[in-house]
Amino acid sequence: MNPTRLLAQSFRTLPRYRLRTAFMMLASFVGAAALTLVISVGEGAKRKTMNTVRQLFGASSILIMGSGTEFMGGPRPDAARFTIDDVEAVAKQVPEIEAWDPQQAMPAASVRHGDATTKARVLGASERFQQVWDRGVVRGETFDLSAVNGSARVALIGQSAARALFATEDPLGAEILIGQVTFKVIGVLEVFGTDLHGMDRDNEVVVPITTLQRRLMNVDTIAAAKLLVRDQDQVAAASKEVQRVLRDRHAIPTGRPDDFRLITAVAVQQMVAKTGRVLDVYLPLVALVALAVGGMVAAALMLVSVNQRIGEIGLRRALGARAEDIGLQFLIETAVTALGGGLLGVAVGSAGALLVAQKMHLGPVFSWKAVLIALVASAVVGLLSGVVPARRAARLLPADSLR
């Protein structure tokens, strides 16, 4: 029989068995939707993560984390003190250091303006905040050295926090209350999005480090510091020197572990890349398992269909249809049904990926690779699941089928 006629016959047959067709399409629909969603969101998340790593660290940066700080999961009673003096000593003794910025944080401080209240992360930073962290203001201005030395009550506000407190009102020049201390908003921070932990970095307020220490937290320690190295090829050597200086200052004897932690961009990028490779393998594998299970369901349904259509098969054989024609028709029916479900799954999976991306601020996530993999996988699973029913239908003898 002509392949075009076989294809037309298959399309005419599918509406006659609506329930069976719907269940077969559902099986491939779920797998294709899962594949499209997982691959699209995974690629978007990896791209967002690498962009965040580059923004937070950069190729020529070193991050020093004090032990037992809020950045490391909460303070310990025996945690070593990490101070601005430590970082100043490092900057003086390690000539590769170009710039540095200390940080302390209040993870969820109460911030108010008029009747509006929100919980925001309050960061303390130096006048080098913009240079070191590569994040400036879109409106207003940043604070300077005199503001840091004088513990000025000035603040830079993130755009999420600004919307929560001011709605459509202009925050520049307005006053906000952090705890019981009044601050004047002098700048609106550039959009950052979410960080590696899924935290909204636009829901934060940056104030001079000395103001945070003295007026809000009553501490003289810092949680972390970021160092910029002049030559990115010297990051490894500079890290060793930073470690030596801090161990000497903290009087750590040989054989004892550091009471601080050094993180370089290279180490973070390697960790992110390793995690990405694991996700690239296991998440699509789960979706492929779902698609394979759907294929087995489709095969079972087509076997039932063969039993239900024995009379039809016998009649067509008696009228001259070859065994190959009967087998090919069932194979086409299974493949077309699976591919139809796959197309619907790709559409729903892409829409779901878009919603997840908007929720997680991942940016555009549409992936032609995800679409191609989902459709090819659906077609292949459909063809494979149709092989057994097609062979069984083709082996039926006309006399036995009509009996």
pLDDT per position as a tens digit, 303-342: 666 665 665 666 666 656 666 666 677 677 777 787 888 8
Taking the C-alpha atoms of residue 43 and residue 55, their distance in angstroms, rounded to an integer, is: 18
Which stretch of 204-213, 237-246, 377-386 has the lowest confidence by average pLDDT? Answer: 377-386
The answer to whether residue 301 scores a pLDDT higher than 60 is yes
Taking the C-alpha atoms of residue 147 and residue 153, their distance in angstroms, rounded to an integer, is: 8
pLDDT per position as a tens digit, 347-376: 998 898 888 887 776 777 777 777 887 788
Handedness of CA 367, 55, 103, 67 (dihedral sign): positive
Residue 183 phi, psi dihedral angles, 5° rounding: -125, 150
Per-residue b/e over 269-299, b at no fewer than 16 CB within 10 Å? beebeeebeebeeebbeebbebbbebbebbb
Could you give the angle at the alpha carbon of 176 between the alpha carbons of 175 and 179, nearest 5°? 140
User: With a threshold of 0.75, does the pTM exceed it?
Assistant: no
Residue 77 phi, psi dihedral angles, 5° rounding: -60, -30
